[in-house]
């Protein structure tokens, strides 16, 4: 008898949890992702600021499921869904729109960067959503210091050594604090012609406070900590323009060669594929059992789903995606084996955390509001616990201890293929010149 086929699209927090919840189900589970790795997004900023290497925050999906015999992993980009024929279409390196049939479908495709209608900003202000983004930001930051060291004209130092982050949510706050620590400690003794500690780190947001999803006292604590680290915090004004020279905010031009976008996200096109009702942001409105109306076989979970609880939409955080993925997997399992059906999905909020530089975090869980070193220890423990494999846990723990004690970072390599091509060409050209003049 043919096995029930469960297709899961996206191996982020939601998709991974759904697939794992189906490990004992007599079904064939097909997990499709456009990358070959599961990425631990909350630590992306640490790759962008050189603390960790890309391999410390991501694991090959195939390796995660090596022991789950009912799971097959496909590397491909899903391009659409046919609800009537019950199949998804994916493209890979040499084929387009290959159909894969399903009995149950879980869409867990997350979000992408959104520039709030200003897509032209993308070329000047990269975001932080994938490993490629994180390495690109790391290259850009480190390159700015190298250029400044080589630059004779001190007036250009100002632009090169000004780093702007647009968006003061958790990513912007964590990233600006980590950058401030990088420039004021790690890099300090390594340059001869510039003083890295003179670099400006500017955090801008139109909101009146940083970390707006946290309570006011924690926002204030985070802002004070940022200022202590030397971050200029500019709130209450949206950015008027981002271009090759920097930004304009509240009518003032801030010159910078490194602007990083940490402001907005937009959901994946799951709503368009399914042609179903979405919220204003474009996230698929799901029912309390996380299925879409009239299709009990289609689940949408995580950042790309929209569900209200206690009159408020659930936030786009890892815990929501994880719990929803697990719930969808269990519900599908109960449909297939005929067990008791779980109650409607209910999110259990374990709290919110954000780290603000070395040894300081803010933590909010229920009525508990903590800031400082104890919150940082809790932050570190929780993040280690949720890394996908024990080898990553050990590796990240060792790196954190090393960085904490010595200030040294995991990887400060500028890995820029085109840059090195150019470098090789110009090196070859100059060697040629030398040979000719000889």
Ligand X SMILES: Cc1cc2nc3c(=O)[nH]c(=O)nc-3n(C[C@H](O)[C@H](O)[C@H](O)COP(=O)(O)OP(=O)(O)OC[C@H]3O[C@@H](n4cnc5c(N)ncnc54)[C@H](O)[C@@H]3O)c2cc1C
- 240: phi then psi, degrees, rounded to nearest 5: -85, -30
Nearer to ligand X, 82 or 421 (CB): 82
Residue 205 interacts with ligand X (CB under 6 A)?
no
Contacts of 81 (CB under 8 A, 6+ apart): 87, 88, 89, 105, 107, 273, 274, 298
DSSP 109-159: --EEEE-TT-GGGGGTS---SSHHHHHHHHHHHHHHHHHHHH---HHHHHH
Burial of residue 308, with CB atoms counted within 10 A of its CB: 0-12 exposed, 13-18 middle, 19 or more buried: exposed
Nearer to ligand X, 44 or 274 (CB): 44
Cα(398)–Cα(382) distance, rounded to whole angstroms?
16
Cα(274)–Cα(284) distance, rounded to whole angstroms?
9
Nearer to ligand X, 319 or 395 (CB): 319
Catalytic option among 174, 252, 297, 385: 174
39, 45 Cβ separation under 8 angstroms = no
For residue 224, the minimal CB distance to ligand X (Å) is 20
Nearer to ligand X, 372 or 407 (CB): 372
Residue 21 interacts with ligand X (CB under 6 A)?
no
The contact mask relative to ligand X for 238-277 (x = CB under 6 A, - = no) is ------------------------------x---------
Nearer to ligand X, 88 or 249 (CB): 88
Residue 169 interacts with ligand X (CB under 6 A)?
no
Q: Which helix (H) or strand (E) holds 44?
A: helix 44-48
For residue 213, the minimal CB distance to ligand X (Å) is 11
Nearer to ligand X, 128 or 204 (CB): 128
Q: Which of 188, 209, 220, 202 is nearest to 258 (CA)?
A: 202
DSSP 3-state assignment of 5? strand
> By CB under 6 A, which span of 3-11, 92-100, 136-144, 155-163 interacts with ligand X?
3-11
Nearer to ligand X, 205 or 303 (CB): 303
Among 35, 147, 215, 416, binds ligand X (CB under 6 A): 35
For residue 110, the minimal CB distance to ligand X (Å) is 3
Q: Which residues within the stretch 86-145 sit at the binding site for ligand X (CB under 6 A)?
A: 108-110, 128-129
Residue 162 interacts with ligand X (CB under 6 A)?
no
Nearer to ligand X, 148 or 260 (CB): 260
For this structure, is 216 an active site residue? no
Distances in Å between the Cα of 434 and the Cα atoms of 67, 241, 424, 427, 438 are 59, 45, 15, 11, 6
Residue 170 interacts with ligand X (CB under 6 A)?
yes
Residue 382 interacts with ligand X (CB under 6 A)?
no
Size of the site for ligand X (CB under 6 A): 33
Residue 56 interacts with ligand X (CB under 6 A)?
no
Among 36, 70, 77, 313, binds ligand X (CB under 6 A): 77
> By CB under 6 A, which span of 23-31, 36-44, 200-208, 425-433 interacts with ligand X?
36-44
Q: Which of 133, 111, 117 is nearest to 58 (CA)?
A: 133
Residue 306 interacts with ligand X (CB under 6 A)?
no
Using CB positions, name the residue nearest to ligand X.
12
* Angle in degrees, CA 326, 329, 335, rounded to 5: 140
For residue 267, the minimal CB distance to ligand X (Å) is 9
Q: Which helix (H) or strand (E) holds 234?
A: strand 231-235
Q: Give bridge partners of residue 87 from the DSSP assignment.
A: 82, 101
Strand order in 71-75's β-sheet?
71-75, 27-33, 4-9, 104-107, 295-300, 291-292
353, 371 Cβ separation under 8 angstroms = no
Distances in Å between the Cα of 226 and the Cα atoms of 213, 233, 258, 438 are 17, 8, 19, 56
The contact mask relative to ligand X for 316-335 (x = CB under 6 A, - = no) is xxxx-x--------------
Residue 42 interacts with ligand X (CB under 6 A)?
yes
For residue 170, the minimal CB distance to ligand X (Å) is 5
* Positive/negative CA dihedral, 204, 266, 29, 31: negative
Among 6, 7, 9, 178, binds ligand X (CB under 6 A): 9
Q: Report the interface residues with ligand X, using CB under 6 A.
A: 9-15, 32-35, 41-42, 44-45, 77-78, 108-110, 128-129, 170-171, 268, 302-304, 316-319, 321
Question: What are the residue numbers of the active site?
Answer: 174
């Amino acid at each position: 008898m043919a096995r029930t086929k469960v297709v899961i699209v996206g191996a982020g927090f939601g998709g991974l949890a759904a697939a794992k919840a189906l490990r004992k189900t007599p079904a064939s589970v097909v997990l499709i992702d456009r990358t070959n790795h599961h990425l631990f997004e909350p630590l992306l900023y640490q790759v962008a600021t050189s603390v960790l290497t890309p391999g410390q925050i991501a694991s090959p999906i195939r390796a995660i499921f090596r022991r789950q015999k009912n799971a097959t992993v496909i590397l491909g980009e899903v391009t659409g869904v046919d609800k009537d024929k019950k199949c998804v279409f994916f493209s890979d390196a040499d084929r387009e729109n290959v159909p894969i049939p399903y009995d149950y479908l879980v869409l867990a495709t997350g979000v992408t960067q959104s520039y709030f209608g200003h897509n032209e900003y993308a070329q000047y202000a990269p975001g932080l959503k994938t490993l490629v983004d994180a390495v690109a930001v790391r290259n850009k930051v480190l390159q700015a210091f190298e250029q400044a060291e080589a630059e004779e004209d001190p007036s250009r130092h100002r632009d090169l050594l000004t780093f702007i982050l647009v968006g003061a949510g958790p990513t912007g706050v964590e990233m600006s604090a980590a950058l401030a620590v990088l420039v004021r400690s790690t890099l300090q003794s390594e340059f001869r012609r510039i003083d890295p500690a003179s670099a400006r780190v500017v955090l801008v947001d139109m909101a009146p406070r940083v970390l707006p999803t946290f309570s006011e006292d924690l926002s204030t604590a985070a802002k004070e900590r940022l200022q202590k680290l030397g971050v200029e915090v500019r709130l209450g004004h949206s950015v008027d323009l981002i271009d090759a020279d920097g930004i304009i905010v509240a009518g003032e031009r801030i010159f910078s060669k490194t602007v990083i976008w940490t402001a907005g996200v937009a959901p994946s096109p799951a709503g368009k594929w399914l042609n179903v009702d979405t919220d204003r942001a474009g996230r698929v409105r799901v029912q309390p059992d996380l299925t879409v109306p009239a299709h009990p076989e289609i689940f949408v979970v995580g950042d790309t789903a929209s569900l209200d609880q206690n009159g408020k939409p659930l936030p786009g955080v890892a815990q929501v995606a994880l719990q929803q993925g697990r719930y969808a997997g269990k519900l599908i399992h109960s449909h297939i084996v005929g067990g008791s059906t779980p109650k409607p999905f209910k999110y259990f909020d374990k709290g919110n955390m954000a780290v603000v530089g070395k040894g300081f975090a803010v933590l909010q869980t229920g009525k508990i509001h903590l800031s400082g070193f104890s919150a940082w220890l809790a932050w570190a423990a929780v993040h280690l616990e949720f890394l996908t494999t024990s080898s990553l846990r050990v590796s990240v723990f060792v790196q954190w201890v090393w960085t904490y004690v010595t200030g040294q970072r995991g990887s400060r390599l500028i890995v820029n293929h085109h840059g090195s091509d150019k470098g090789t060409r110009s090196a070859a050209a100059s060697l040629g010149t030398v040979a000719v003049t000889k």
